[in-house]
A = this chain, B = another copy of it.
Amino acid sequence: MSSSTGTLRIAVIDRDGAFLKVLGKRLDAAGWQHRVLGGIVPVDELVAMKINALVLDMSVLPPEEAWPFLERVGGMLPGLGVIICTDESTVAQRVRGLRLGADDWVAKPCHPEEVMARIEAVVRRRRRRASGEAERGPLVVGELEIRGDQYQAFVAGRSADLTRREFELLQALSDAQGSVIERGEIYRRVWGYEMAHGDRSVDVFIRKLRIKLEQRSPNWAYIHTHFGIGYRFDPEPLDATAADPPAGQPPAAAGSASDPATTELEPADA
Contact = CB atoms under 8 A, between A and B. Distances in A.
B181 A130 contact: yes
A254 to B, nearest CB: 11
A230 to B, nearest CB: 8
Nearest to A110: B91
A128 B131 contact: no
Interface string A97-111: 011001110000001
25 contacts: A1-B99, A94-B117, A95-B111, A95-B114, A95-B117, A98-B114, A98-B118, A99-B121, A102-B121, A103-B124, A126-B128, A128-B129, A130-B176, A130-B179, A130-B181, A131-B178, A151-B230, A152-B226, A161-B260, A161-B262, A162-B261, A163-B227, A163-B261, A164-B227, A164-B228
Contacts of A122: 103, 125
B175 A131 contact: yes
B129 A129 contact: yes
A224 B111 CA distance: 50
Contact of A91 (B94, B114, B261): B114
Interface in A78-93: 78-79, 81, 91
A151 B226 contact: yes
Interface in A147-173: 147, 149-152, 158-159, 161-164
Chain A, interface size: which category?
35 or more
A179 B163 contact: no
Which 6 pairs show the lowest CB-CB distances between chains A and B? A164-B228, A161-B261, A98-B117, A131-B176, A91-B111, A95-B117
Contacts of A114: 91, 94-95, 98
Nearest to A181: B130
Contacts of A103: 121-122, 124-125
A128 B181 contact: no
A176 B149 CA distance: 12
A113 interface: yes
